[in-house]
Amino acid sequence: MPGVIAAPSVMRISEFLSPEAVIAELASSSKQGALAELCTPLAKVQPGLNTERLVDVLVQREKLGSTGIGDGVAIPHGKMSELSRLIASFGVSHAGIDFDAIDGKPTHLFFALLAPENSAGIHLKALARISRLFKNPQFRQSILAAAGPAEIYELITTEDSRI
């Protein structure tokens, strides 16, 4: 189909998450604040985007239903016509944030994903990969115990190469 971006056979998280987009400790204690913090590095890694527009896309998606998938994990996501590729950020809240997760528990690990408007296959493949990665309880614990953003990024990319 013309204009549709095809999904690669094996997608790696390192293709859309950069080390600069990892936040070792989110300062916010609210859902809206966490989304804004997650969007700040995205606006830096993708020139031409502004944080407010990114936040708006994620907030609009959250209105359809929480992206808090349980077990302390949320994957806020959305699509934007301004994007030509997937971009992502990752943040940790040790205190936990009420993200209206399906299990009703606080959320500690946040993986924000934004995709081009015409990228259903890539978008869904990325969401599935992130979800599969964070199903492992030991992996989630290792992220929470990590010393900083560089170690978190290394843990994510190493674990991603195993699945």
Q: Which two tokens stand for residue 85?
A: 């590729």
Over residues 132-146, mean pLDDT: 96
* CATH number (domain holding residue 80): 3.40.930.10
Reported as a single tens digit per residue, the pLDDT across 6-34 is: 444 678 999 999 999 999 999 999 999 99
Residues noted as catalytic: 77
- The pTM of this model reads 0.92
Q: Look at strands 68-70 and 73-74 and give their pairing.
A: antiparallel
Number of structural domains (the chain) is 1
In a domain, 107, yes or no: yes
Burial (0-12, 13-18, 19+ Cβ within 10 Å), 64:
exposed
Reported as a single tens digit per residue, the pLDDT across 40-64 is: 999 888 888 889 999 999 999 999 9
Reported as a single tens digit per residue, the pLDDT across 82-114 is: 898 999 999 999 999 999 999 999 999 999 999
In a domain, 125, yes or no: yes
Q: Which residue range(s) make up the domain with 125?
A: 15-162
The pLDDT assigned to 9 comes to 61
